[in-house]
Amino acid sequence: MRWTWFHRLASPPYLYALAARLTPWFAWPAALLILGGLYAGLVLAPPDYQQGEGFRIIYVHVPSAWMSLMVYVTMGVAAAVGLIWRMKVAHAVAASCAPIGASFTVAALVTGSLWGKPMWGTYWVWDPRLTSELILLFLYLGFMGLRAGFDDTQRADRSAALLAIVGMVNVPIIHYSVIWWNSLHQGPSVMRLGKPTMPPAMLVPLLVLLLGFTLFFAAVLLVRVRAEILQRERAARWIGETLRA
Amino acid sequence: MTPRQRRLGLVIGIVVGVSIAGTLALSAFRQNVTFFFDPSQVAGGQVPVGERFRLGGMVTKGTVQRAPGSLEVRFVVTDFAHDVPVSYSGVLPDLFREGAGVVAQGHLRADGTFVADEVLAKHDEKYMPPAVAKSLKIRHGEARSDPGS
């Protein structure tokens, strides 16, 4: 059957072992790409003609903002799979995503604020892009809070999954906010139809960092999923056998 | 219909329902979601009279006048269809340039001048090294007319 890989993933011992095996394959490339990308972006890339050296905060801001959306999509899809297929490990994946996504969202908001002060002249405005990104942070925090509010894991899984799925509508709103409405935030430079609006010397480090951040997320997610499985399956016999071995 | 298909339908229903609700809500609040009004909207009378709002557009080249010895500055904001003169007293952001984007907050005086109490610079999504920008400018014959860079 073509679907056996999917059903095998649903087995906690299998996923626990697989995550352990896969982690270094994401962690090491992530470390190399992030270090190389930061060096290329902060040292090798030319300064911007208007923003000078200050534009280099883009190399942290854009990957963080990109990941804040990517992680939410991962979380929402995992939550939906968990609801539809009654798959416990999918809920474990969704639960593991939330703190990572919240951290990326905070990073995007803080770096954006620090960038806004010298360039726009303000740390914060209630602009559609900024406001929708702040709502994303509240969705992550709400998801985590809702989970924490239930003693029963299964009920926590189902309620939080519904919140994650409802919150998915915010993802396209964040991305298109700068196109649909007048906004202080500029339009997309990379994730747009047509050519990116920067030369390769500036663009390549950004793409390297985007890939590096994505692999970093995958590595952290795998570690967190293992911890989550350990906690959920603490009464299961396979845990004792695995840990003794 | 299996229970799994019913749950799949439920999830799809939630996504579709929330999307429709979100679209309706956002289009109803369009006026409030928009961050600034452009000069055409001001000229068309779409702006609440006597109330504070934000005006956004391009600073017309050659219109920035500074009063000597004060922070008083006057310039014209345009969207290439209509113009609105702006007066402002205060510190301008570093990226405030003639020919670049700007968002000003304030109110419209009876004589049609927009009195701003906050001016923010809106930069575009283009990034390039200074040398490239310079050669582009020379090619477009704008090297003389832009004192901002």
Report yes or no on A201 lying in a domain. Answer: yes
What pLDDT, in 10s, does the model give residues B57-100? 989 888 888 888 888 899 999 988 888 999 998 888 888 888 88
Report yes or no on A4 lying in a domain. Answer: no
Report yes or no on A129 lying in a domain. Answer: yes
What pLDDT, in 10s, does the model give residues A156-211? 999 999 999 999 999 999 998 888 887 888 888 887 777 778 888 889 999 999 99
Pairing, β B83-89 against β B114-122: parallel
- The residue among A58, A169, A190 with the most chain B CBs within 10 A of its CB, best to mutate, is A169
Classify burial at A18, counting beta carbons within 10 Å of its beta carbon; exposed 0-12, middle 13-18, buried 19 or more: middle
Look at residue B121 and tell me whether its pLDDT is greater than 80: yes
Question: What pLDDT score does B141 carry?
Answer: 53
Domain count, chain A: 1
Report yes or no on A117 lying in a domain. Answer: yes
Question: What pLDDT score does B147 carry?
Answer: 40
CA atoms within 13 A on the CB side of A190: 17
Question: What pLDDT score does A136 carry?
Answer: 96
pTM score of the predicted model: 0.88
What pLDDT, in 10s, does the model give residues B7-42? 899 889 989 999 998 888 888 777 666 788 888 888
The Cα A131–Cα A59 span in angstroms is 22
Question: In which domain, by residue range, is A111 found?
Answer: 57-189+196-244
Report yes or no on A33 lying in a domain. Answer: no
* Beta-carbon contacts of residue A187 (< 8 Å; ≥ 6 apart): A178, A179, B124, B125
Task: Flag if B93 and A165 touch (Cβ within 8 Å).
Answer: no
Average model confidence (pLDDT) for chain B? Answer: 82
Which residue in chain B is spatially nearest to A191 when comparing CA positions? B125
Report yes or no on A104 lying in a domain. Answer: yes
Report yes or no on A130 lying in a domain. Answer: yes
Nearest C-alpha of chain B: how many angstroms from A28?
A: 31
Report yes or no on A14 lying in a domain. Answer: no
